[in-house]
């Protein structure tokens, strides 16, 4: 029995229930329900013209019936649409697999050209996106809008420009935008981070315009990306392919989205006043949501950008990294003679072997990393607060400097006790009288180093002597006493049997005028 398409739709328009329509036409209720559903999708309502007969309705609502009548195997277009979303899958490959299946089932396949034509018609009618030129989750295109927004300074009334960052996914045409106060590198990168968060995933490829914030220079016809932009791409596991200079077709979708959003958002907000960037971006987000929910204007496209994104593209995005990318800046500096580098008047150590070498320094909010020829040689927590602070890694110091850092008052007293009571008394005095502990430790370490030239007994004797003649012993005086005592112990000339002694006063040893701050 033939299907009475026109009568079914006319009775449905008269609000006749499907049970009675089935009785009147002799067609099954499931078929009637399917016809009504297809007619709603095509927005078919009476009155119908004379040319709109049953054959016309069948060709419109069920085009595959006409194709199948030719005796050929109709492709599974839903399967084709799903498979085209996968990496490296093309219509050519799917047609080859379709032909192999037809030969196996002893049916006639459609030629490649007709195969593509039918898929194109199917996708236009029933899907929001086309899978021929653009794959879902493959590309995100980014740019700055040519037209600016504005803020009003609440104190002066001055108008401040705000720039609109735009990102779009070409497959679903789903868009994102936000306002920034400048087009500098930090604003550019932060906007990327926010776009990925808004989309909830990452595309395989990122296509920016040839902006100075992302592209450093061109070399041999290729764009050279700046290091921070490369790091962001690496963090999100995406590849940056900058659009060629003066080649807008390389980013046609974002160019189109920029133009549409300029009208939909910037023009729509032209008469409103905003006093903070937060207020402005709240209004921008409202207009963005309206834009993504706005029905497609082309008749063959169903739904809106958000629907297309959720059903056709969201599944193909790569997952976001566990933590968002942290902004970083780079600088080049030479390692100073004290094996430290200067970063904004804070000093960070590197292994002493790199003294006077050029190093690359990566600075984030929390971390300072230092690289030599692409190898990281040091990492420090970033310093804040008073300028001139030092972050020093103990392992970066030469051995003799490490010894100094490891030397403590406890160690100094322990050594002095191994020499004798007088030496211990002198060391305790030096530690107690010094205004700065490091100054005292330096003095005691110098005293300890006398052991390389003089015996422990000689050091103890010198300390005993200085205690007798001075209330404020100093290391320089002890050193003079050691030299003097050593000279006195040397054998005299055999001809000089008689000795003539005399008493040296405190002035000889430099006691007079010595002060506590002479410790060194």
Do 459 and 419 meet the contact criterion of CB atoms below 8 Å apart?
A: yes
pTM, entire model: 0.54
Supply the pLDDT for residue 493: 43
Q: Which residues of the chain have pLDDT under 50?
A: 69, 217-221, 493-503, 511-520
CA distance linking residue 469 with residue 376, whole number of Å: 57
Q: What pLDDT does residue 318 have?
A: 93
pLDDT score recorded for residue 505:
54
What the block records as the tokens of 440 is 């005292």
pLDDT score recorded for residue 115: 84
Instruction: Evaluate whether 128 touches 136 at the Cβ level (below 8 Å).
Output: no
Predicted pLDDT at 372: 92
Tokens of 295: 């029905």
pLDDT at 400: 58
Cα separation of 472 and 517, whole Å?
A: 10
* DSSP codes of every residue in 353-377: GGTT-EEEEEEESSEEEEEETTEEE
Tens digit of pLDDT for each residue in 146-185? 888 999 888 888 899 999 999 999 888 899 999 999 998 8
pLDDT at 501: 47
pLDDT for the residue numbered 186: 86
Residue 64 tokens, joined:
């595959």
Distance CA 251, CA 167 (A): 11
SS3 296: coil
Task: Express each pLDDT in 187-208 by its tens digit.
Answer: 999 999 999 999 999 999 998 8
| Domains, in order of start, for the chain | 5-65 (no CATH), 77-126 (no CATH), 139-316 (3.30.420.10), 328-397 (no CATH), 407-486 (no CATH)
Q: What is the pLDDT of residue 2?
A: 73
Contact assessment for residue 202 and residue 224, using Cβ atoms and an 8 Å cutoff: no
pLDDT of residue 520: 42
Tokens at residue 250, please? 């390389």
Q: Are 98 and 75 in contact (CB under 8 A)?
A: yes
Task: Say if residues 481 and 509 touch (Cβ distance below 8 Å).
Answer: yes
Q: Output the CA–CA distances (angstroms, integers) from residue 78 to 122, 172, 365, 431, in the order listed.
A: 9, 17, 49, 86
Pairing label, strands 159-169, 390-391:
unpaired
Task: Map residue 194 onto helix, strand or coil.
Answer: helix
Upper half-sphere CA count for residue 363 (Cβ side, 13 Å): 17
Q: Is 466:477 a contact under the CB 8 Å cutoff?
A: yes
């Amino acid at each position: 029995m033939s299907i009475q398409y026109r009568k079914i739709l006319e009775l449905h328009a008269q609000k006749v229930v499907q049970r009675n329509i089935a009785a009147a036409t002799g067609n099954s209720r499931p078929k009637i329900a399917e016809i009504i559903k297809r007619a709603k999708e095509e927005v078919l309502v009476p009155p119908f013209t004379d040319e709109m007969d049953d054959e016309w309705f069948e060709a419109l609502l069920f085009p595959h019936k006409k194709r199948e009548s030719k005796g050929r195997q109709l492709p599974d277009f839903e399967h084709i649409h799903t498979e085209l979303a996968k990496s490296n899958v093309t219509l050519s490959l799917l047609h080859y697999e379709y032909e192999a299946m037809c030969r196996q089932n002893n049916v006639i396949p459609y030629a490649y050209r007709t195969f593509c034509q039918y898929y194109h018609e199917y996708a236009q009618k029933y899907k929001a996106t086309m899978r021929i030129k653009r794959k879902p989750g493959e590309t995100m295109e980014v740019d700055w809008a040519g037209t600016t927004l504005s803020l009003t300074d609440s104190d002066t009334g001055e108008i401040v420009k705000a720039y609109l960052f735009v990102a779009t996914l070409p497959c679903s045409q789903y868009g994102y935008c936000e306002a920034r106060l400048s087009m500098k590198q930090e604003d550019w990168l932060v906007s990327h981070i926010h776009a990925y968060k808004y989309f909830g995933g990452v595309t395989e490829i990122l296509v920016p315009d040839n902006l100075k914030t992302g592209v450093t220079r061109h070399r041999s016809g290729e764009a050279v990306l700046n290091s921070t932009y490369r790091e962001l791409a690496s963090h999100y596991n995406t590849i940056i392919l900058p659009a060629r200079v003066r080649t807008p077709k390389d980013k046609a979708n974002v160019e189109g989205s920029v133009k549409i959003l300029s009208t939909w958002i910037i023009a729509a907000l032209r008469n409103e006043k905003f006093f903070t960037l937060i207020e402005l971006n709240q209004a921008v987000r409202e207009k963005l949501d309206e834009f993504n929910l706005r029905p497609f204007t082309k008749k063959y496209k169903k739904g809106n950008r958000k629907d297309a994104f959720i059903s056709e593209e969201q599944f193909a995005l790569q997952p976001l990294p566990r933590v968002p990318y942290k902004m970083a800046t780079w600088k080049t500096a030479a390692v100073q003679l004290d094996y430290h580098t200067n970063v904004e008047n804070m000093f960070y150590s590197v292994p002493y072997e790199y003294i006077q070498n050029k190093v690359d320094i990566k600075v984030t909010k929390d971390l300072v990393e230092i690289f030599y020829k692409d190898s990281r040689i040091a990492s420090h927590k970033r310093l804040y607060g008073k300028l001139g602070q030092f972050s020093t890694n103990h392992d970066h110091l030469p051995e003799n400097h490490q010894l100094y850092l490891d030397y403590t008052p406890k160690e100094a007293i322990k050594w002095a006790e191994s020499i004798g009571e007088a030496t211990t008394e002198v060391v305790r005095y030096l530690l107690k009288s010094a205004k700065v502990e490091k100054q005292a430790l330096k003095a005691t370490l110098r005293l300890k180093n006398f052991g390389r030239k003089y015996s422990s007994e000689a050091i103890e004797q010198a300390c005993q002597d200085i205690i007798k003649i001075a209330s404020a012993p100093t290391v320089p005086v002890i050193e003079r006493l050691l030299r003097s005592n050593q000279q006195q112990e040397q054998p005299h000339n055999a001809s000089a049997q008689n000795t003539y002694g005399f008493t040296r006063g405190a002035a000889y040893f430099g006691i007079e005028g010595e002060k506590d701050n002479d410790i060194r």
